[in-house]
Structure 1
Amino acid sequence: MSQYPELLHTVIDTTDPRALAEFYRQLLGLRYRPGDEPSETPESQPGWLVLMDATDVRKLAFQRVDTLTRTTWPAHDIPMQMHLDFTVPNVAELQRQRQRAQSLGAQVMFDRTDDAEEPLYVFADPSGHPFCIFVA
């Protein structure tokens, strides 16, 4: 038995769990937890969805909220409160992932690709949550 709690997954609030889960599923190559997959018939808006990796480890969950105020970062009126970091091995892959993220609905909030030590982009996902992709 472990003496520490174990992280199950990170939960992200959103007004549209299916759309945001689908964004991250495609961006990160994840899959739905069994039973959370989209159905062929019209469904009511789910209140909770989970994404897992190929080894069945839960990674992200999405929880429906009625309203969600987007961050104003880099202004501090409404802070980020949290963000996700993702890494890629080189600048060419960073540029490829920028194009993928934008094609899936992300918006670039900040471009620091001119930094030779740690080039990065800060994006907003379709619900407005910030996330970074950088060369590590």
Structure 2
Amino acid sequence: MRGSAEFWRYLLDLRYRPGDDDVTEGELRFDRTDTPEEPLRAYADPAGHVFCIFVA
């Protein structure tokens, strides 16, 4: 559970307070931001769950 929480914190650009833990990153799996009809990126969290972010 901690890995997923860290991933979302990093993705949403949330910051730790001084003295809190450090960051864990996810992995970009697919980048389709150059497609005008439906630009998106697909990421995988540390547990391997893939999800899409639509880019405006």
Please give the TM-score of this superposition, normalised by the length of structure 2.
0.61
- Indicate yes or no: 2:39 matched with 1:119: yes
Q: SS of the counterpart of 1:114?
A: coil
Q: CA RMSD in A?
A: 2.6
1:123 maps to amino acid: Y
- Indicate yes or no: 2:55 matched with 1:131: no
The unaligned stretches of length 5 or more in structure 1 are 1-16, 31-39, 41-102
Q: SS of the counterpart of 1:20?
A: helix
The residue aligned with 1:110 is: 30
- Which has the larger Rg? 1
CA–CA distance in 2 between the matches of 1:113 and 1:120?
A: 5
Kindly indicate whether structure 1 or structure 2 has the higher relative contact order, using CA contacts under 8 Å at least 6 residues apart. Answer: 2
The unaligned stretches of length 5 or more in structure 2 are 15-19
Sequence identity (%): 56
Please give the TM-score of this superposition, normalised by the length of structure 1.
0.29
